[in-house]
Amino acid sequence: MTTKMPTVKFTKLFINGDFVDSISGREFETIDPRTEEVIARIAEGSKEDIDVAVKASRVAFDHGSWPRMTGVERARIMMKWADLIDENAEEIAKLDAIDAGKLYHFCKAIEIPSAANTIRYYAGAADKIHGEVLKPAREFHAYTLMEPIGVVGHIIPWNFPSSMFVTKVAPSLAAGCTMVLKPAEQTPLSALFYAHLAKLAGIPNGVLNVVPGFGPTAGAALCSHMDVDKVSFTGSTKVGREIMCAAANSNLKPVSLELGGKSPLVVFDDADLDKAIQLAFLGVAYNKGEICVAGSRVFVQEGIYDEFEKKLVEKAKTWVIGDPFDSKVQQGPQVDKKQFEKILSYIEHGKREGATLLTGGKRVGNKGYYIEPTIFSNVKEDMLIAQDEIFGPVMALMKFKTIEEAITSANNTRYGLAAGIMTKNLDTANIMSRSIRAGTIWINCYFIFGNDIPYGGYKMSGFGRDFGLEALHKYLQVKSVVTPIYNSPWL
Amino acid sequence: MMASRRLSWLLSRTLSASYSSGAASLLHSLVRNSGGWRNINRFRFSTAAAVEELITPQVPIRYTQHLINGKFVDAASGKTFPTYDPRTGEVIAPVAEGDVEDINRAVTAARKAFDEGPWPKMTAYERSRILLRFADLVEKHSDELAALETWDNGKPHEQAAKVELPIFVRLFHYYAGWADKIHGLTVPADGNYHVQTLHEPIGVAGQIIPWNFPLLMFAWKVGPALACGNTIVLKTAEQTPLTALLAAKLFHEAGLPEGVLNVVSGYGPTAGAALASHMDVDKLAFTGSTDTGKIVLELAARSNLKPVTLELGGKSPFIVCEDADVDKAVELAHFALFFNQGQCCCAGSRTFVHERIYDEFLEKSKKRALKRVVGDPFKKGVEQGPQIDVEQFEKVLRYIRSGIESNATLECGGDRLGSKGFFVQPTVFSNVKDDMLIAKDEIFGPVQSILKFKDIDEVIRRANATRYGLAAGVFTKNVNTANTLMRALRAGTVWINCFDVFDAAIPFGGYKMSGIGREKGIYSLHNYLQVKAVVSPLHHPAWI
């Protein structure tokens, strides 16, 4: 399973336009989850490195060309960057596949080109950031300026190394910010490659810095830095809370958090059954269940429940697990040992709690972090597997009778990231859309992300939105400018 | 008599070879390069000589037929009309002459492309990629397009190549960026209803563009219409049919499906009228004269009530306050009027100068006009080429005579230059009174009228005493004066300490008889969208 090993070209910190060793000289290993072997040794950023990177960003923001360019000029550079990513899609896809255990062919055909498209979307937005002219109640002229917020700290997770990178970086670049990004320690490779391409495209030194490292050291340093104006984080709810505390205890920097979820998929009796089964299964199996909007709680109305359960299990058994470089494979390994063990322990917990294991539940093979798609039935809402985010291919299947019951159950979670609704009935769709407390509602579809579709959480799934023009607001300050006017012909 | 003979428009600095492509740097370039202009002026040569030694443009005339449904075709009648080189009045090429039948064919193609074709059904992102690819192709062919533009139109080649082509590309990047960001709203209702608005493409758009900025007017019209998912029949001005045909060809190379953009050359009373009154055209956009705009609006009313946007004439004031830096004001006022041979609908054609600085301003304006380099627009350093055609040329000379007859003081210029082509001397009138014809009518030529004023209230009243309301320039250091004037002037654009700053994001259009609607910016999208409200009842909603 060690075929098609990509050459890893970039392993150092990217600060102020150069690849540099960490100040401490320390390195950490990034591991191939297929084999548990070391892919490469990566410079390990810590507080001192973050300080240097923030300083480079600060200078680039306070004195550099990036915030002083027109949106048009920023857009041209971003467009070029996107083109370079397209040209290098194959190599980047290999890096994500080997680093995160993601499906290589899917990355190459979909994820990497989509990342380029996201950059193009925000390049197109860079010259469309409008303030407003206001309507004061007295004889004043007033308007708002939408100014870049300054130096941004981005901390991104390992499950979608490419998508997360551009989701954070592209809107903040379009807004005119400079930034320090810490990729997840599991998946530093593509982020460094993107930094290299950004430089080739003409993004000035210091505007985009990438410092690989660990959360408690590099991540914490970024969040508590007094000279960082904003932190944008995607990751677990637990870490999100620490980040917010760090921001509160330092300079009160605004924070946006895109955190965990326990999203419901609610299937009504009148749903297209085959489609519902397919979406429900993909809801937990896509990307090995390592996705914050996994449809990990599936509620099925009693009229179709039995048939649904039977076909769902059949579907799960056809699922192909193996080397993510193999084009026939549908699921690769979990990202690392820690996640792998955590998932298996949740599965054991589910069994102990009395849920029925319908299928799966075991690791696959004896090397690498492969886990079978796992479905539990007879799940009670207060069970841990129905409450906690497992972040693996594990589904909690539940039955419901009425729409009122479905609403109550769907909302019975501390999370609120997304929800899926399968029904042909317009009223049901409308009622559910407004009743579920979540940031995205998919009606008869699931996992439909789009550059123009804002995405983020209610409740403990976080706050702030990625994607869409909404995301720009995270990286903008609003300045009101007011001045008296005399003898205006209108007010 | 109709003919989309005229214009509209546009932009920024003209003649510096060091033009920076950044749109926001337009003003900066203007200030920074004013020294450069003076340098150019030192090498001024006699116009007559310049006109005698014409440079032959090294550019092929590749396309002269209509472009309908993705193919170049002859006119249904087989007829052609000549397009002329305004430097000499000689024929450049015969061009297919569109009439009712050609418009019908083009509309049929556009209708089919809209109703059945892939274009409106594509994702917005795919449309945006085609617009971006087109912009790339234009950059690649920019030498050819710029040469063709100058040949057909007579505008300085440096202006076409270094200012207008980059802005053209910029406009398509801008609209490509809009394609996937056109948002409807979800709307609060007073009751248990779910309401949303869909912003749908309006359908087949008819677009009639003028000759003063053939490519830029193409971009202003075609860019937003395509970004919104419409299909188009475009009629170019009969004076300048060439560049639109090449640009449209490049659009097809970029992947635009057939029938989405159809280009018909021809005259206003025939092809233009057929388009404006067509029952199957859903929207009409026109840039040109106010007289023609009235006809277009009437034809729309008499046919299928298609909505119309009009970008028409102007008599824009340029107001120089007493605290202004006179040298800078002179340069800017000169630019505001003489840019593009004075053939700009927003030309600053009424220069109001405060009495305290009037004499100095007048002296320097005259000197500046005398230094203006007029000649073969293909020659480096030439600031002003010929007027577009014999009709415009004679009209401008008639207005100059009218100025003299009405006892305005002719400070300089006042006649044609040379004996061939349509060159007019840069002309400055002083002692111009508000009721003189040269202060009321749009001349559309290199004729500056300088008027004196005493106080702000007076100049507001006089500046607004016009049937037009396209633009205005204000030159002052005082923030209160600037604020007062920017609200008091009844015009669609107010430039404060700058003029002709045209960026894709800045809306442009007129008050009063300067037109209806806005082009460019986010506002331009609404010209090409229908708004559909979708309402459905909500039963037991969680919130309202």
The whole-number average pLDDT for the span A12-39 is 97
CB within 8 Å: B125 and A121? yes
Query: Can you tell me whether residue A324 is helix, strand or coil?
Result: coil
Whether the per-residue pLDDT at B29 is higher than 70: the answer is no
Kindly list the catalytic residues of B: 311
Whether the per-residue pLDDT at B53 is higher than 80: the answer is yes
Which ranges in B489-531 belong to alpha helices (H)? none
Q: Which residue of A has its CA nearest to B170?
A: A72
Q: Which residue of A has its CA nearest to B482?
A: A485
Residue with tokens 């009495």: B355
Which of A123, A127, A489 minimises the CB distance to B505? A127
Which of B23, B128, B183 minimises the CB distance to A70? B23
Whether the per-residue pLDDT at B3 is higher than 70: the answer is no
Q: How far apart are CA B271 and CA B106, in angstroms?
A: 11
Is the Cβ–Cβ distance between B81 and B94 less than 8 Å? yes
Between positions 431 and 490 of A, the ones with CB within 8 A of B are 431, 434-435, 451-452, 469, 483-490
* pLDDT-derived band at B52, boundaries 50, 70, 90: low
Here the ipTM equals: 0.87
Is the Cβ–Cβ distance between B174 and B130 less than 8 Å? no
Q: How far apart are CA A167 and CA A466, in angstroms?
A: 7
- Beta-bridged to residue B285, according to DSSP, are B207, B309
Whether the per-residue pLDDT at A310 is higher than 70: the answer is yes
- Percent of chain A residues past pLDDT 90, beyond the cut: 96
Q: How far apart are CA B67 and CA A481, in angstroms?
A: 50
Whether the per-residue pLDDT at B79 is higher than 50: the answer is yes
- Percent of chain B residues past pLDDT 90, beyond the cut: 88
Q: What is the mean pLDDT of chain B?
A: 91
pLDDT in tens, A192-248: 999 999 999 999 999 999 999 999 999 999 999 999 999 999 999 999 999 999 999
| CA-closest candidate to residue B314, choices B518, B520, B491 | B491
- The pLDDT of residue B100 is 98
Query: Can you tell me whether residue B374 is helix, strand or coil?
Result: strand
Three-state SS string across A30-60, please? EEECCCCEEEEEEECECHHHHHHHHHHHHHH
Cα of first residue to Cα of last residue in chain B, in angstroms, is 58
* pLDDT-derived band at A101, boundaries 50, 70, 90: very high
Is the Cβ–Cβ distance between B428 and B413 less than 8 Å? yes
Between positions 41 and 100 of A, the ones with CB within 8 A of B are 69-70, 72-73, 75-76, 79
CB within 8 Å: B173 and A121? no
Is the Cβ–Cβ distance between B455 and B470 less than 8 Å? no
Residue with tokens 């075609």: B222
Shortest Cα–Cα distance, B22 to chain A (Å): 6
* pLDDT-derived band at B35, boundaries 50, 70, 90: very low
Does A13-259+457-478 carry CATH code 3.40.605.10? Answer: yes
Whether the per-residue pLDDT at A69 is higher than 70: the answer is yes
Q: Which residue of A has its CA nearest to B489?
A: A489
Which ranges in A298-336 belong to alpha helices (H)? 302-317
Whether the per-residue pLDDT at B20 is higher than 90: the answer is no
Chain A residues with beta carbon closer than 8 angstroms to that of B541: 430-431, 434-435
CATH class of A264-443: alpha beta
Q: What is the mean pLDDT of chain A?
A: 96
* pLDDT-derived band at A137, boundaries 50, 70, 90: confident
Q: Which of B13-27, B40-54, B230-244, B451-465 has the lowest mean pLDDT?
A: B13-27
Query: Can you tell me whether residue B348 is helix, strand or coil?
Result: coil
Whether the per-residue pLDDT at B170 is higher than 90: the answer is yes
Whether the per-residue pLDDT at B70 is higher than 50: the answer is yes
Which H helix or E strand runs over B72? strand B71-73
Is the Cβ–Cβ distance between A185 and A99 less than 8 Å? no
- The pLDDT of residue A467 is 96
Whether the per-residue pLDDT at B489 is higher than 80: the answer is yes
The whole-number average pLDDT for the span B130-145 is 98
* pLDDT-derived band at B98, boundaries 50, 70, 90: very high
pLDDT in tens, A252-263: 999 999 999 999
Phi-psi group of B381: left, alpha or beta (phi > 0 → left; psi -120 to 50 → alpha; rest → beta) = left
Q: Which of A427-441, B15-29, B232-246 has the lowest mean pLDDT?
A: B15-29
Query: Can you tell me whether residue B444 is helix, strand or coil?
Result: coil
Residue with tokens 């609003």: A478
* pLDDT-derived band at A491, boundaries 50, 70, 90: confident
Q: How far apart are CA A284 and CA A290, in angstroms?
A: 8
* pLDDT-derived band at A4, boundaries 50, 70, 90: low
Q: How far is CA A115 from CA A283, A472, A483, B4, in A?
A: 21, 17, 43, 45
Please check whether residue B194 touches A, CB under 8 A.
yes
The whole-number average pLDDT for the span B291-320 is 97
Q: How far apart are CA B176 and CA B224, in angstroms?
A: 9
Q: How far apart are CA B141 and CA B253, in angstroms?
A: 12
Tokens of B108: 């049929």
Tokens of A487: 């003898």
Tokens of B178: 């809009």
* pLDDT-derived band at A185, boundaries 50, 70, 90: very high
Is the Cβ–Cβ distance between A304 and A451 less than 8 Å? no
Domain boundaries, chain A: 13-259+457-478, 264-443
User: Which strands make up the sheet holding B186-187, listed edge to edge?
Assistant: B186-187, B193-201, B529-537
Whether the per-residue pLDDT at B36 is higher than 60: the answer is no
Residue with tokens 């909690």: A396
- The pLDDT of residue A5 is 73
